[in-house]
A and B are shown apart, each in its own frame.
Chain A
Amino acid sequence: MNSVIFLNGFRFILLILAQVLIFNTLNFMGFINPLVYVIFFYWYPIKANRAIFILVSFILGLTIDIFSDTLALHTVASLTVAYTRPLLMRFCFGVNYEFQNFSFKNTTPIQRLTFLGLLVFVHQVVFFSLEILSISHFVLILKKVFATGIVTLVLCALFSSLFSPRSE
């Protein structure tokens, strides 16, 4: 149990630093700053207390917001991802996910990629809709969601295969 807290705490700090120091300054093609910290929601233990998960995601989003002076955009996006995660899991992994012995090991890579893709998609849509907050800029929102979303998804998929947790 302690190792789980330690591991997630370590990830939490490392992902914040990676996001604000590396990926926020990337500006690929002038505007693409992938939001890679979404992978935190992918890695977070499945059977953990949901209330704590929501609180942790609130703090994660708020910290990144303070660093990047985009107050409360990342927070709302993270909260929404944390809240909808069980729903997305049921959608991707079916009823299997309800069983006690469920783990990522006995799922197919396609299922995992779909799950990750949906997490990224929900996060991007909430984030950019709030950032721009104007229906007249719908095309701009769409452009940002897809461009940033694809880069984020590729990076997250790479990270998840590079640092795949063995014990969970």
Chain B
Amino acid sequence: MQRIINFILRYRNAFLYGFLTFVSLVITVRSHSYHQSKFFNSSKWLTGNVYNLSANVSSYFGLREENTRLVQENERLRKMLFNSNVDGPESIDTLSLNYEVMSANLIKNSFASPRNYITIDKGEKHGVTQDMGVITTKGILGIVENTSNNFATVQSVLNTKSNINAKIKNTNYFGSLVWNSEDYTVVQLVDIPRLVPLVVGDTIVTGAMSSIFPENIPIGVIKKYDLNTSRSFYNIDVELFNDMANIKNVYLIMNKNKEEIEALEATTANE
């Protein structure tokens, strides 16, 4: 017994190293396949506030550019509004809307690692919940993964765990949007059947199969495509509309019917 204790004491550093490494390796491997850790993420009080402080300072440098982008979007939306059958913003019946939109600022961006998470400055206090869709003026950005009182982390489309339903615009052929972690301007659309006629430059938009995003939110254009190894589905490279390295303002989308849809799907799956 004495010798065992002596042995442990002699190699205590090695044991300590082994133990701590084991713990962190378990966490690492888990983070590769499961959701982000609920307790340790950058939406928490300390990390969120540090990023918020830094974003408060650095956001001044991009104000002019950001302003132009927002005015351009307003211009586009005005054009759509005037050319549609709706009489004006006042005539929209807010009770019958399916989607609610909320704006937020990005306080931490990341696009260089294989699993990128983005932190935004809206949290539970403002009504943000898990699995809300996040878009920018140009296109899709990601899905809310964890929330704290004042902040939330977003799983970016540039995340190897991300899997979003997408389709080719004006058709009903849909596939899954994934990322191979090689280039932050290009994501991959898989599971599009071989018989679909494709052209480089076709627009890819979100599909109707998800309860997170509304249909027809722009994602990107087809950059190149080829058949996969089984030669029955396409692997399509999609160039994103968003410049993932330069994002300031984002919109959160809340589907008001989401709970109903999910409850219905759950009962159907159980039967």
Contact = CB atoms under 8 A, between A and B. Distances in A.
Contacts of B47: 66-67
Nearest to B159: A69
B36 interface: yes
Given A51-B13, A72-B25, A67 B42 contact: yes
Contacts of B12: 51
Contacts of B28: 71-73, 76, 130, 133
B17 interface: yes
Contacts of A20: 50
A132 B114 contact: yes
Interface string A4-41: 00000000000001001100110100111100000000
Chain A: number of interface residues, binned into ranges: 35 or more
B103 interface: no
Contacts of A62: 24, 40
A72 to B, nearest CB: 4
Q: Which of B41, B113, B116 lies at the interface centre, i.e. has the most chain A CB atoms within 10 A of its CB?
A: B113
A148 B108 CA distance: 21
Nearest to A83: B17
Chain B contact surface mostly = mixed
Interface in A54-113: 54-55, 58, 61-62, 65-73, 75-76, 79-80, 82-83
Q: Which of B24, B110, B111 lies at the interface centre, i.e. has the most chain A CB atoms within 10 A of its CB?
A: B24
A73 B24 CA distance: 8
Nearest to A144: B112
B112 A31 contact: yes
B234 interface: no
A92 to B, nearest CB: 20
B63 interface: no
B74 interface: no
Contacts of A71: 27-28, 31, 36-37, 40-41
B24 A75 contact: yes
Nearest to A77: B24
Interface in B3-27: 12-14, 16-17, 20-21, 24-25, 27
B112 A80 contact: no
A65 B119 CA distance: 14
A71 B25 CA distance: 10
Given A20-B50, A55-B16, A69-B153, 18 more contacts: A50-B13, A58-B20, A58-B24, A66-B44, A67-B50, A67-B51, A69-B42, A69-B119, A70-B113, A71-B27, A71-B31, A72-B28, A75-B20, A76-B21, A79-B20, A80-B21, A131-B114, A132-B114
6 contacts: A27-B245, A32-B112, A50-B13, A71-B31, A76-B25, A132-B114
Q: Return the 9 tightest CB-CB contacts between A and B, nearest first.
A: A69-B117, A72-B27, A72-B24, A75-B24, A72-B28, A83-B17, A31-B112, A76-B24, A71-B31
